[in-house]
Amino acid sequence: MKHILMAAGALAFSLTPLYAQNFDDPQEFAKQRDQLQAEPMGPEGQPWLQYIGGDMVDTAALGLEAPATVCFSNAGVNNPWRVVGYTNMVEELKNHASIADFIHVDAEGSDDKQIADIDDLLAGGDCDVMIVSPNTTAALTPAVERACEAMPVIVFDRGVNTDCPVSFIHPVGGYGFGIQGAEFITSKLDEGANVLMLRILPGVDVLETRYSAGRRILEEAGMNIVGAEFTDGDNAKTKSIVEDYLMRGSIDAVWMDAGATAVAAIEAFEDSGYDIPVFVGEDQQDFLRKWQDEGLTAIAPTYPTYQWRTAVIAAARVIEGEPLPGPEWVLPQPAIVQENLDDYVNPAMPPLHYAMCGCEEMADYPQAWGGN
Amino acid sequence: MSDSATAPKRRLPQINPVWVLLTVLVVAIIFMNPRFIEPTGYMNFLKRAAPLAILAAGQVYVITSGGFDLSVGSLITLVVVGSSMLTNNDPTATYWVIPLMLAMGLGVGAVNGLVVCFLRVPSLIATLGMMITLNGLAFLWSGGAPRGYLPDTFRFFGRELIRDVPLVRFIPVSVIVLVVVVGLLAWLMHRTNLGRQVHAIGDNPVAARLAGVAVNRVRITAFMLSGLSAAIAGILLGGFAGVSTDVGSGYELQAITAAVLGGAQLLGGRGSVPAALGGALALTAIFTLLNFLGLPQPVRQVVQGLILIAAVAFAMHRRRQTGT
Amino acid sequence: MSIAEDTPRRKAGFRFERWAPLILLGGALAIYVVVALVTGQAQYLTFDNLIAILGRSIALGITAIGQTFVILVASIDLSVASLISATAVLASVVMDGSPAMILPAILAAIALGGLVGLTNGLVVSGLKVNPLIATLGMSLIIQGCLSAFVSNFAGEVPAAFQMFAYGELGPFPVALLFLGLLAVMAWAVLRFTKFGSDIYAVGGNEEAARFAGIKTGRVVILSHVICSICASIAGLYLASRLRSGAPWIGSDGVYDLESIAVVVIGGTVLAGGRGGVWGTMAGMLIFSLIDSVFNIAGVDSFAKQVLRGIIIVAAVAFYAIRSKRIVA
């Protein structure tokens, strides 16, 4: 049995390079680097309405009449980022009289279920516009194509391999996230400094691109990457991994591909009696508060949850026949830095709240997001 | 009770193989990383193993009585999320939240036991249903993102160290909790009537009932102890690493694995709390060792799978040889 | 209360066990109709919708048919979810968009399934490892091997093979007809062959079956092979439906635990020896109906989970509460 497994393994291994996807694309890297610098168009101070790149699509020809029904096929609300995003969405709906009805179906993180959900929505025949937040890009493409034949479709967060949707809404992207964090580290530390890279899990497009961009910049600056470890997004595991690294040597900076476990990583330094090094986290309140309380040298790149608002706005514009940025609506992707940290820390908000939500001015803030 | 007393002597000395496995693993770890023999090394190791060890010690009761408890992982999550909701950043709340969480663990265990005993649903399904339900409850309670931080008073048990201890320099509080809880559970299992009855109903429930054992009461007690151990593990894990919404996921299978590595027999009749502790330590040692070897996650899974099968196959082989 | 009684009461004429899955299914259907009417969404009561509901859980149904076999022999298989991922990836990598490679890919997937099933069976019946542990270990091994080499969608399924998931024959999806055919075959095997009756004998009482001259080990192994091959077919179906295979599709669908839940909701007893494929199909439909009810009623996704857990336990209690045997 073992031999067969090993042989099968060897066979698979020899095949792998052929099918490995490219998460380290220099062109996309350069493009996103430019987009981070670009001046977005649209209203000042309302990043969820802003866009980078000027292409617009006309929707008057789609011939919808207000009020209409919007259906939303959601990949899941299975993590705090998606919870904050979905709350943004529900609150944004209150601003749009043209959306009479909103039907939400939740695929609970399964491609198969999301395909069935979209088919159900199409068979139900109630929807006028569909918003899709795909669980994975490739798998959902056929279902989205079928939906496109029946009605206008808005896609956001992860994309699909087809240009049939009216618009694909997303922030700058994974390379951008990786670039912001890694450039901060290289600006604070000298060549040869020890950097620990913590990642959630392999294989997810948006996380792989963050990592490849981060690693590229750190290596070009001559940083010494002491390790790149997967944490599964688990606090206890993250803390253990960092403790193990501290037993072996010193760490000058920690780069993370997502900030959910940043505080656990910081605590590993505190509990082992070390100074907290340069840190790359994300815009969750617990990290921001820790940063402020302990006076860290840190940055929080974001993958803004306000894109969930934008999806609703786009659907409303489709119904009203207004033009909207498309076929790609690239939202700005700001990072939280020392200078604007105080604007985002809010002790009234829950620890896992994502601060870059663009929701502070909304009617039911902060209660709807769990604040008090 | 088919413990060591009745097994024919003379063959292999009656030492549980889990201790051999653990010794080998620890030696290998020390070989890989000599700093492991310093207090920071082994105390961190014990601190990390504590939640799993406590969980395994509770799981042994259910396994020995002939059942499974798959609900412990999501119970851990519910305890952590629930504590953060209830304490709501108030350090003084800890004093009533912790007893409440322990009571909740007992309550969940009681429900599991009642469903198995009176609705006659096999524990695999009953606790699977409970696992899904509790996970949903944790999300429902918190709306998907817990509202509060866990105050330091709550985190004391999982995070703090007692410093300036002679010989070892420091002892993590969680290690003390581990010793106390596992000690109590071991005493209960191996020195009291309850332990004998748990073994009896796992071995042959019909015979046990004829012998006057209150089968349902003992079974429900076993589930309650498992639930209680999950609540304690949840308090330690929340203390160690703070709030997150998937703290407990995967712990149910790890706990069963640890108990089985310690020689507990699935479907009942045989199980030992100290050996389950050994199983939990061995499992944690495997993870630590693979970590030190710098092996990627997939290899760790394969090794874990192989060891699991091999350990049970070995135990069965030995059992047939010794004829017990 | 007699405690040694191991068989359920049998009243002449009406055998509760036999009809229980249908009663549950009827209940689920009634709830669906009522919810659709009460929420004023009668458009969900059309033929198209019925087909959509039937098509919701095809992968789960195929897996559950296999799971029925192992549960009938008093074993269990937790490795199906990883195997589904592995065969989906294997098939899509072997095909890699070329129609000529469809047949080799299918054969490779089935061979992998057969191999895994054979190993599971041998470990369970030969080494006497508890099936829960044996297949859990196997699941870790498969998942580990798989994610060592693939970390995302790999390969591509040619358009011709997508017929499996998306094709239609008249008003019926091909996959649905396939599932029906598979169920009929499984039923025929269990009902009319010696192997079928051996399965019930071994599951009912292994010792007695052995004394009756049945090669019990062989029956257990063959059941595991069937289960794993069904899982690999489910993997092929998912590869066709998702156009490619990824190492997480099996575990994301929770096909291991869900397939077990479907089987027991369908009235097959975990201890083995009693139950059948039609019950499993009823169980699958109940799952699909519940899902659809949640969707049309707009149940909050967290409340959905809570309800689902309770429904699983309640459905099993519906059968089990009448039994007099002691369970653990």
Q: For position B98, which CATH number holds?
A: 1.10.3470
Q: pLDDT tens digits for B76-97? A: 999 999 999 898 778 899 999 9
**Residue C149: closest CA among chain B residues belongs to which residue?**
B298
Say if residue A134's pLDDT is above 90: yes
- E-strand ranges in chain A read 56-57, 68-74, 99-106, 129-133, 153-156, 167-171, 194-199, 224-230, 253-256, 278-280, 298-299, 324-325, 328-331
- Decide the pairing of beta strands B161-165 and B169-172: antiparallel
**Residue A316, CA distances (Å) to A70, A88, A310, B138 in order:** 9, 15, 10, 34
Q: pLDDT tens digits for B260-276? A: 888 888 888 889 999 99
Residue A357 lies in a domain: no
DSSP-derived secondary structure letter, A190: -
Say if residue B136's pLDDT is above 60: yes
Residues 216-255 of chain B whose Cβ lies under 8 A from any Cβ of chain C: 219, 253
Q: For chain C, how many structural domains are there in total?
A: 1
H or E stretch at B16: none
Residue C49 lies in a domain: no
DSSP-derived secondary structure letter, B172: E
**Amino acid (1-letter code) at residue A291:** W
Q: What is the pLDDT of residue A345?
A: 94
- Decide the pairing of beta strands A298-299 and A278-280: parallel
C-alpha span between A178 and A216 (Å, rounded) = 9
Residue C244 lies in a domain: yes
Q: Do B121 and C325 touch (CB under 8 A)?
A: no
- Tell me, yes or no, whether A164 and A71 share the same domain: yes
Let me know: does A133 contact A157? Beta carbons within 8 Å. yes
Range of the domain at C206: 61-275
Residue C144 lies in a domain: yes
ipTM of the complex: 0.87
Say if residue A8's pLDDT is above 70: no
Tokens of A53: 């790149």
Q: Do B123 and C328 touch (CB under 8 A)?
A: yes
What's the mean pLDDT when you consider all of chain B? Answer: 88
Residue A292 lies in a domain: yes
CB of C259 within 8 Å of a chain A CB? The answer is: no
- Tell me, yes or no, whether A236 and A150 share the same domain: no
Tokens of C297: 């009623």
- Decide the pairing of beta strands A56-57 and A324-325: antiparallel
- Tell me, yes or no, whether A182 and A99 share the same domain: no
Say if residue B144's pLDDT is above 80: no
Q: What is the pLDDT of residue B11?
A: 54
Range of the domain at A260: 174-299
Q: What is the pLDDT of residue C324?
A: 72
What is the distance of C-alpha A320 from the center of its chain? Answer: 28
- Tell me, yes or no, whether A182 and A293 share the same domain: yes
CB-nearest to A352 from B41, B145, B292 is: B145
Q: For chain A, how many structural domains are there in total?
A: 2
**Residue C278, CA distances (Å) to B216, B269, C13, C33, C50 in order:** 33, 35, 20, 22, 19
- Which SS3 state, helix, strand or coil, does residue A153 take? strand
Query: CB count, 10 Å around CB of C47?
Result: 9
Q: pLDDT tens digits for A225-275? A: 999 988 888 898 899 899 888 888 899 999 999 988 999 999 999 988 899
CB-nearest to A230 from B48, B161, B297 is: B297
> B65 vs chain A: nearest CA distance in angstroms?
31
Show residues of chain A in contact with B132, CB under 8 Å: none
Q: What is the pLDDT of residue C48?
A: 79
Q: What is the pLDDT of residue B5?
A: 45
Section C306-328 average pLDDT: 84
**Residue C130: closest CA among chain B residues belongs to which residue?**
B266
Say if residue A13's pLDDT is above 60: no
Residue A178 lies in a domain: yes
Say if residue A14's pLDDT is above 50: no
**Residue matched to tokens 């969405």:** A89
Residue C222 lies in a domain: yes
Tokens of C289: 């109906």
| CATH code, A253 | 3.40.50.2300
Section C273-282 average pLDDT: 92
Tokens of C298: 């707009």
Q: What is the pLDDT of residue A16?
A: 43
- Tell me, yes or no, whether A207 and A64 share the same domain: no
- Tell me, yes or no, whether A135 and A51 share the same domain: yes
> A34 vs chain B: nearest CA distance in angstroms?
34
Q: pLDDT tens digits for B237-265? A: 999 988 888 888 889 988 998 998 888 88
> Which one, of C82, B143, B139, C253, lies nearest residue A136 by Cα?
C253
Q: For chain B, how many structural domains are there in total?
A: 1
Say if residue C279's pLDDT is above 90: yes
Say if residue C5's pLDDT is above 50: no
Section C220-240 average pLDDT: 96
Say if residue B205's pLDDT is above 70: yes
Section A330-342 average pLDDT: 95
HSE, side-chain direction, 13 A CA sphere, residue B83 = 40
Q: What is the pLDDT of residue C13?
A: 52
Task: Please give the residue that has the higher pLDDT: either C51 or A282.
Answer: A282
Q: What is the pLDDT of residue A21?
A: 58
CB of B10 within 8 Å of a chain C CB? The answer is: no
Residue A20 lies in a domain: no
Range of the domain at B131: 4-322
Residue C3 lies in a domain: no
Say if residue B287's pLDDT is above 90: no
> Which one, of A204, A254, A209, A206, lies nearest residue A229 by Cα?
A254
- Tell me, yes or no, whether A289 and A329 share the same domain: no
Task: Please give the residue that has the higher pLDDT: either C172 or A89.
Answer: A89
